[in-house]
Amino acid sequence: MSLDVAHSVFETSHVAECPGVAPECAATFIPPHEHHVALGLTHTELTAEYDVRDGMELALRLPYDVKAMTDRYTTLDGAPFTPPYGDIHHRTETLRGISDPSLDLDVAAGDAWIVALGTTLPAGHIVPDPIVLGREGKTHEHIQFGSGTFEPRLACSGTATSFSRAPRRS
């Protein structure tokens, strides 16, 4: 078993303007403005590995995420701005939850190769399409804890020291 923790902060901004920012655009003028968002992401993952037999390992990964967001709105020249549609798009909040776990089977193929077969398990919290909800003027999240689907994967890796190259002939 192992426990891994990673943390990083991401900052982004984008210009929002009518007509796509909110349904209020149909009734009132909303000047172009910026959404500034910072996301502190802490990803914790508990991994349990089991040796099925010699050369074959089963691994279950259970991720837990803390997603701390801060937001602010400004006019294009940097002055504070309070949009008439409120905080339907971004909010200062902290979300916590399990993200999609994954199950993998690694098989040694000879001395130099490993073939891995696995999938994510759709257990993380997801939300309906945030773009559609925003256009409808409904509060929504852009941050999710999974994909809502199984995501199968197949991988093959080899050890570089096991490869040899015959000398070139002139």
Q: Is pLDDT above 70 for 114?
A: yes
Nearest Cα neighbor of 129 from 117, 119, 138 is 138
**Cα–Cα distance for residue pair 139/94, rounded to 1 Å:** 16
- The structural domains of the chain, with segments of one domain joined by +, span 2-162
Q: Give the model's pLDDT for residue 25.
A: 87
**pLDDT value of residue 68:** 97
Q: Give the Cα separation of 115 and 119 in Å (integer).
A: 14
The yes-or-no verdict on residue 107 having pLDDT over 70 is yes
Q: Quick one: pLDDT at residue 122?
A: 96
Confidence (pLDDT) at 32: 96
Q: Is 132 exposed, middle or buried (0-12, 13-18, 19+ CB in 10 A)?
A: exposed
CB 11 within 8 Å of CB 37? yes
- What is residue 165's predicted lDDT score, i.e. its pLDDT? 52
pLDDT tens per residue across span 57-105 = 999 999 999 999 999 999 999 999 999 988 888 899 999 999 999 999 9
